[in-house]
Chain A
Amino acid sequence: MTHSTPAPAETEALGTSPTASSPARRRPSRVHRQRLRAAWLFLIPMLLVLAAVAGWPLLRTIWFSFTDASFASISEYNWVGLDNYLVYDDGMWFGVLADPAWWQSVWNTLFFTVVSVGLETVLGLIIALTLNAQFRGRGLIRAATLIPWAVPTIVSAKMWGWMLHDQFGIINDMLLTLGIIAEPLNWTANADLSMWAVIMVDVWKTTPFMALLTLAALQMLPSDCYEAAKVDGIHPVRVFFKVTLPLILPALMVAIIFRVLDALRVFDVIYVLTSNSEDTMSMSVYARQQLVQFQDVGYGSAASTVLFLIIALLTITYLYLGRKQIGGES
């Protein structure tokens, strides 16, 4: 929203360009009108593409959620109203909202989101604070932290799948050697461990992203208050909580919300590492299973629509809260 209220100097300079010598500053000049027309001509192709790949498919998905369409014959369907969401029939509740597996997937997704984003934030902060200090080879380590980010999610899930292998995995070997566990653990198949395995992979993959965004925020901090703190002999931990954290908090919050929205739609790590196990199934995995595996487009679309509504609600909240911050520059 605040993007539409630009710095006044910019508007003036471009709106009344040097060719418009008329004193009526408010009236748009010919050049300005031409620029406006060009702006829309430039935007329309992009908006049309977005409408075709996002807007229309989304509307169709919502539409399908009120029908009994199937994946095999997606063009033949009947209107079923809210049946895919919730329906009372013959003494029983049916529909997505009455399915325990759906609620399990909601819980799994929320647990995954809170724990992994939480760990990523803390670890990211620690890494960023470490990399913020001056030392030899800092560039090298900073580059190394980008590696997990560059590895495709599928590959990282397979790599960790191998490391977490119950018989030949290196993680079990390390833990056994260190005497932490007495016998090998079946990380990806054991109901109590599989969610932690998924979280481990996600934390490995996305902590670097967090660390880099946090580092960028740290490097924008003014150095004078640190010098003042040093002169006053304030303990570094206190400085961190009283000075650093409040200053980087806005940037950190944006990064956290980005990660939260990403984590809520998690699909590939879970799909590859633990396939369709209900212990780790996320909302996206559940919806796709209904859509593709069970061929039930209506039901799967209803699940997708609920997920979309949850994310839309959070996005709107984020845009509303982040308004000042996003538009804060320039």
Chain B
Amino acid sequence: MILLAVILIFTVFPFYYAILTSFESGSELFTVEYWFSSFDLANYRSVLSQESFLQSIWNSVFVSFSTVVIAMAFGLTAAYALGRVQFRGRGAVLMIVLSVSMFPQVAVLSGLFEVIRAMNLYNDPLALIFSYTIFTLPFTVWILTTFMRQLPKELEEAAIVDGASPLTTLFRVFIPLMWPAMATTGLLAFIAAWNEFLFALTFTLTNSERTVPVAIALITGGSQHELPWGNLMAASVIVTVPLVVLVLIFQRRIVSGLTAGAVKG
């Protein structure tokens, strides 16, 4: 029982403390409190009244959502080919996909910067959508392939007998069965894109183009000791609460998705 309490405190406490701090203001911030003493919404008002913060939330939503849609479109067709068809070179394709997902992001930074400049997308959220496919696509292909292989082959055989083309088979037979897997994968890809920092920091320059993680990382005060901790914690809570709620709702699915991606391969 004690062990359980320790685990619970260990995992939940920092987030709890961030929420607690976000409701404090003025001198309260500079006395350490363990329980809620006030519910002052001033920090939230101050953060949400900044136009650039709202804009960066919108940028994050737009970038993450688009990234998921693109990863799904390319990932589903590829997963169908990799999961359901036996062909020469299939192992090699899977290895390429897996190796790309292990790339250190910094290793493509200068090359990607050049591509983005050539496409005239520097300091544009579209550059982030483009660059995020480097990690969302391999991961989507990998997980969807795992799920795709688990579907019974009789369904597909029936479709083939009926003379359905592979594209029809994919859309009419598999995609309807894949919804749970797609929701899981989509959510994981969304979280990965929402949390991404290195590319967002490097490929955007102005406040209005930034995503939320970069906006939070760049909140500064007059000096290191004058950081507006109340605002910072309020912003952090705003950015994290939707994710935590989603994760808690879909927790079973997420666990199965994570294990499908990592353990079973």
- Spell out A's residues near B (CB within 8 Å): 1-6, 10-11, 13-15, 17-19, 31, 34-36, 38-40, 42-43, 45-47, 49-50, 52-54, 56-61, 63-64, 69, 71, 74-75, 126-127, 130, 135, 141-156, 158-160, 162-163, 165, 167-170, 173, 204, 208-209, 212-213, 216-217, 251, 254-255, 258, 261, 264-265, 267-268, 271-272, 283-284, 287-288, 291-292, 297, 300-301, 304-305, 307-308, 311-312, 315, 319, 322, 325-326, 329-330
Check if B263 sits within 8 Å of A216, measured CB to CB.
yes
B108 touches A213 (CB 8 A): no
In the bound complex, residues from chain B placing their C-beta under 8 Å from that of A52 are 115
Chain A, Cβ-Cβ closest to B249: A143
Q: Which of A3, A144, A155, A330 has the most CB of B within 10 A?
A: A155
| Chain A residues near B232 (CB-CB < 8 A) | 158, 162
Contact B86 A14 (CB under 8 A): yes
A to B CB contacts below 8 Å, 14 in the list = A42-B80, A42-B170, A43-B78, A54-B134, A61-B107, A61-B108, A150-B243, A151-B240, A155-B216, A168-B31, A216-B259, A254-B263, A255-B262, A304-B104
User: B38-46, B50-58, B153-161, B175-183: which one contacts chain A?
Assistant: B153-161
B70 to chain A, nearest CB (A): 8
A307 touches B197 (CB 8 A): no
- Give complex CA distance A41, B3 in Å: 53
Docked complex: B72-103 residues within 8 A CB-CB of A: 74-75, 77-78, 80-82, 84-100, 102-103
Inside 8 A of A292's CB, which chain B residues have their CB? 202
> Judging by beta carbons under 8 Å apart, are A43 and B265 in contact?
no
A46-B109 contact given A14-B86, A216-B255, A267-B198, CB 8 Å threshold: no
> B11 contacts A208, CB within 8 Å?
yes
CA distance A160 to B10 in the complex (A): 12
Q: How far is the CA of A156 from the CA of B217 in the complex (A)?
A: 11
Q: By the criterion CB–CB under 8 Å, are B251 and A146 in contact?
A: yes
- Across-interface contacts of B106 in A (CB, < 8 A): 265, 267, 283-284, 287-288, 291, 304, 307
Please, which residues of chain A bring their CB within 8 A of the CB of B80? 39, 42
Binding site for A on B (CB under 8 A): 3-4, 7-8, 10-12, 14-15, 17-18, 21, 29-32, 34, 74-75, 77-78, 80-82, 84-100, 102-115, 117, 130-131, 133-134, 137-138, 141, 149, 153, 156-157, 160-161, 165-167, 170, 191, 194-195, 197-198, 201-202, 212-214, 216-217, 225, 229, 232-233, 236, 239-240, 243-244, 246-248, 251, 254-255, 258-259, 262-265
Find chain A residues with CB under 8 A from B254 CB: 146
Q: Is the CB of B108 within 8 A of A57?
A: yes
* Contact A14 to B85, CB < 8 A, known contacts A130-B4, A155-B240, A304-B107: yes
The answer for the CA separation of A17 and B213 in the assembled complex, in Å, is: 51
Contact B130 A53 (CB under 8 A): yes
- A63–B32 Cα gap in the complex (Å)? 53
Chain B's nearest CB lies how many Å from the CB of A309? 9
A216 CA to B262 CA, complexed, in Å:
11
By secondary structure, the A interface counts as helix
Cβ–Cβ contact A154 & B262, under 8 A = no
Interface of B, helix, strand, loop or mixed by DSSP: helix
Cβ contact within 8 Å between A35 and B85 = yes
Q: A154-B195, A158-B233, A261-B102 are in contact. List 5 more A-B contacts (CB 8 A).
A: A43-B78, A75-B114, A141-B8, A150-B246, A158-B216
Whether the Cβ atoms of B95 and A268 lie closer than 8 Å is no
In the complex, which of the residues A135, A254, A304 contacts B265, with contact meaning CB atoms closer than 8 Å?
A: A254
| B102 close to A315 (CB less than 8 A) | yes
Contacts of A31 in B (CB 8 A): 160
- Measured CA separation A299–B92 after assembly (Å): 33
A267 to B85, alpha carbons, bound, how many Å? 39
Q: Please give, as numbers and ranges, the residues of chain A lying within 8 Å of B236 by CB-CB distance.
A: 155, 158-159
Q: Which of A173, A204, A288 contacts B14 (CB 8 A)?
A: A204
Q: Which residues of B contact A38 (CB under 8 A)?
A: 81, 85, 165-167
Instruction: Determine whether the beta carbon of A19 is less than 8 Å from that of B160.
Output: yes
**Known contacts A14-B86, A127-B7, A147-B11: does B149 contact A53 (CB below 8 Å)?**
no
Q: Which residues on the A side are within 8 Å of B217 (C-beta)?
A: 154, 158, 271-272
From B11, B75, B153, B225, contact of A13 by CB (8 A): B153
CB pair A151–B30 under 8 Å, yes or no, is: no
Within 8 Å CB of A135, what residues of B?
A: 4
**B residues within 8 A CB of A304?**
104, 106-107, 109-110
Q: Are A168 and B32 in contact (CB under 8 A)?
A: yes
| Nearest chain A CB to B248 CB, angstrom units | 5
Let me know if A46 and B75 touch, CB within 8 A.
yes
Given A53-B134, A147-B244, A287-B106: A155 in contact with B213 (beta carbons within 8 A): yes
* Distance, CA A178 to CA B9, complexed state (A): 17
**Cross-chain contact A42 with B4 (CB below 8 angstroms):** no
Beyond A4-B90, A130-B7, A155-B240, whether A40 also contacts B112 by CB under 8 A is no
B5 to chain A, nearest CB (A): 10
A49 near B74 (CB under 8 angstroms)? yes
